[in-house]
Amino acid sequence: MTKLAKVVSLSAFRSSLSRSLQRRGENLLESSNVEEKIAALEPVEAFLIVKEMGPANAQLLLRQASQEQMQTFIDLDCWRKNKPNVQDIDLWLAAYAQQDVALLAEAFQRLDDELQILFLMDTLEVYDLRNEEEPADETDDDVLIKTPDDLFLIRFTPKNERHVDPILLLNSIYKDDAAEAHRLLMASKWELKSPLEEGAFHFRNGRLEDLGFPSADLAQRIFMPPDKSKRMSVQRGKHKGASNLPALYAQPFTETSLFALCAARINDADVLEDIQKELGLLINCAIIAYGESPQDIEHIGEIATAVRDTLSLGLEVLLAEKIDAFDSYSEAILETGEKIIAENSLEQLFRYGFQPLRGIQGQAQKLFDDAVFSAWFQQDDETQEAKCDRAFLSGLLFAHPVLSGFETLDPHKQKAFSKKSEIDDAQKRLDMFFHKYL
């Protein structure tokens, strides 16, 4: 075993990543003391595990989920922009209804009060029999039932399908707490929808910010130029994120990269824990900044990989300021890189990695100002070389540039820039286009 391989295999960073992978769905549920391990899951990690497995296959996890975990499930998966989505909430509740009626009532009552009312408002039509007559305009499809206390008549239409039977839900709430059921029905009848949505949105945003998911505007800060006047100093121990990375976040960092190799050398447990908290928060922020959603777990691994590669590029940019000859993965490089990571902010490191992309993006945009070049770009030249060239240029024009057109057999394959040599190669390729067309 080489010295480098030994360092990586024995590192605390590597061990922590391995534990993250072991917490994946089936592995977790097949382990001993599963209840304690579920309780120990960070809310975002629990959400991603359930999403990977599917709620129907993760019923044990859902049964054991804490209030905070379930609240995170709803916050991350049941919203469309600034409005809660009743159909998505219905899907989550259905996983509880399949297990036990009492569990359904408990799960429903864990929702924010505003969401409970909005769900009933969208599902049922309520008549207060103390001062209203029964509806005379019902259709053959309508179902009418009285509540157990005979105070309300409930109408719903089966064609507005729900995975959770609304009568089953209503009866479970009455069985658990009749006074609470009465309050919810009155609220669903008389409350205004817009204030309820605004209140729910406010509370949800506050919780998401605590988890590291900022608003779209705030998330764009990771693409700003680094503040060189402050360098990149950071106070360790100040981060509130999760010390355990979700498996989808951890997976890319188990692969060889400059950042992972340098981080693997860190032995200070407190520093390492804070770095992983920071890393989780940075990936959460990047998910929003890149315009993705935590609901789309297919893309989360791609975002985590992009973060890893951009951190590696930022690390190389800073290393170039300290070491003249960059010999990839040499002892001097890894030792200096370790110090940079241990002492500095990962967000600033990401910014250093992203900034070189702005320069080549600007040059790509200048090419399209030329009529001759634009005409060539729009031609239907189907040679493999032309496909690669067009994919390369298109990738640079994205809001967040990516490296594309580097694989002949798959021109549209994309990846984040991870090395300064990739930036240099892209620059040479752009220079070739300038020389040929301008």
Over the stretch 385-436, which tens digit does the pLDDT of each residue have? 889 999 999 999 999 999 999 998 898 899 999 999 999 999 999 999 888 8
Mean pLDDT, rounded, for 311-316 = 96
Q: Residue 303, Cα to own-chain centre: how many angstroms?
A: 8
| Domain termination residue (choose one: 330, 354, 378) | 354
Contact 197, 84 (CB under 8 A): yes
116 in any annotated domain: yes
In our burial notation (b when 16+ CB lie closer than 10 A, e otherwise), range 49-69 reads bbbbbebeebbebbbbbeeeb
pLDDT (average), residues 124-139 = 83
Examine the domain organization and report whether 422 and 296 are in the same domain.
no
Residue 7 lies in a domain: no
Residue 166 has pLDDT above 80, yes or no: yes
For 156, the enclosing helix (H) or strand (E) is strand 152-156
Based on the structure, what is the number of domains in the chain? 3
Are both 49 and 92 inside the same structural domain?
Answer: yes
In a domain, 2, yes or no: no
- Please identify, among 180, 210, 240, the residue that sits at the C-terminal boundary of a domain: 210
pLDDT, one tens digit per residue, over 242-277 is 778 899 999 999 999 999 999 999 988 888 889 999
Same domain, 103 and 164: yes
Q: Which value, in Å, is the radius of gyration of the alpha carbons in the chain?
A: 27
Give the global pTM: 0.88
Residue 150 domain flag: yes
Q: Are residues 382 and 297 in the same domain?
A: no
Flag whether pLDDT at 296 surpasses 90.
no
Looking at the domain assignment, is residue 4 inside a domain? Answer: no
By DSSP bridging, strand 152-156 and strand 125-128 are: antiparallel
10 confidence band (pLDDT: 50, 70, 90): low
Q: What is the pLDDT of residues 272-288, one digit of tens each?
A: 889 999 999 999 999 99
Given this model, what pLDDT does residue 5 score? 46
Which amino acid is located at 401 in the chain?
A: P
Domain span holding position 417:
360-437
Residues β-bridged to residue 127: 153
Q: Could you tell me if 349 and 373 lie in one domain?
A: no
End-to-end CA distance of the chain: 53
Q: What is the mean pLDDT of residues 170-189?
A: 92
Band of pLDDT at residue 16, cut at 50, 70 and 90: confident
Same domain, 165 and 314: no
Same domain, 339 and 392: no
Q: Do the domain assignments include residue 12? A: no
Q: Is residue 317 part of a domain?
A: yes
Q: Show the tokens assigned to 369.
A: 């100002």
Residue 113 pLDDT > 90: yes
In a domain, 165, yes or no: yes
Query: What does the CA dihedral 306, 222, 240, 61 come to, rounded to 10 degrees?
Result: -40
Whether the per-residue pLDDT at 321 is higher than 70: the answer is: yes
Q: Check if the beta carbon of residue 84 is closer than 8 Å to that of residue 115.
A: yes
Residues 246 and 302 in one domain: yes
Residue 384 and residue 430 in one domain: yes
Query: Is pLDDT at 2 greater than 80 in this prediction?
Result: no
CB–CB of 364/403 below 8 Å?
Answer: no
Distance in angstroms (rounded) separating the CA atoms of residues 280 and 286: 10
Please check whether residues 230 and 254 belong to one and the same domain. yes
What pLDDT does residue 69 have?
94
Q: Do 203 and 55 have their domain in common?
A: yes
State the average pLDDT over residues 87-111: 90
Mean of the per-residue pLDDT values for the chain?
88
Domain boundary among the residues 157, 191, 210 is at: 210
Note the pLDDT of residue 137.
67
Nearest CA-CA partner of 285 in 354, 336, 228, 337: 354
Both 201 and 231 in one domain: the answer is: no
Q: Which two tokens stand for residue 32?
A: 């001993």
Residue 7 has pLDDT above 70, yes or no: no
Closest CA to 86 of 189, 141, 142, 164: 164
Percent of the chain with pLDDT over 70: 92
Instruction: Identify whether the C-beta of residue 259 lies closer than 8 Å to the C-beta of residue 329.
Output: no
Burial annotation 137-172 (CB, 10 A radius, 16+ → b, else e): eeeeeeeeeebeeebbbbbbeeeeebebbbeebbbb
